[in-house]
Amino acid sequence: MEALNPGVTPESELRATSREEETRKSRIPLEPGTRATPTPASRDPRADSDLRDASKRGNVAAVKRILAAGWADVNSIDRKGWTPVLWAARWGHRKVVELLVSKGAFVSVLTFNDNNILHVACMGSDVETVKYVLSLNVVDINARNKQGRTAVFWAKNFRHRRVESLLLSIGAH
Query: Is residue 6 situated within a structural domain?
Result: no
Asked if residue 116 and residue 173 are part of one domain, the reply reads yes
pLDDT for 114: 95
Looking at the fold, whether 36 and 53 belong to one and the same domain comes out as yes
Range of the domain at 62: 30-109
**In the prediction, which pLDDT does 43 show?**
73
> Residue 39: its pLDDT value, please?
52
Boundary-marking domain end, from 68, 93, 109: 109
pLDDT score at 45? 82
Number of domains forming the structure of the chain? 2
b/e map 46-72, b = 16+ CB within 10 Å: ebbebbbebbbebbbebbebbbbbbbb
Within 10 Å of residue 156's Cβ, how many Cβ atoms?
17
Note whether 96 and 118 are same-domain residues.
Answer: no
pLDDT tens string, the chain, 173 residues long: the values are 444 444 444 444 444 444 444 444 444 343 444 445 555 546 788 999 999 999 999 999 999 999 999 999 999 999 989 999 999 999 999 999 999 999 999 999 999 999 999 999 999 999 999 999 999 999 999 999 999 999 999 999 999 999 999 999 999 98
- How confident is the model at residue 3, as a pLDDT? 45
Q: Which residues touch 113 (CB under 8 Å, ≥6 apart)?
A: 145, 146, 147
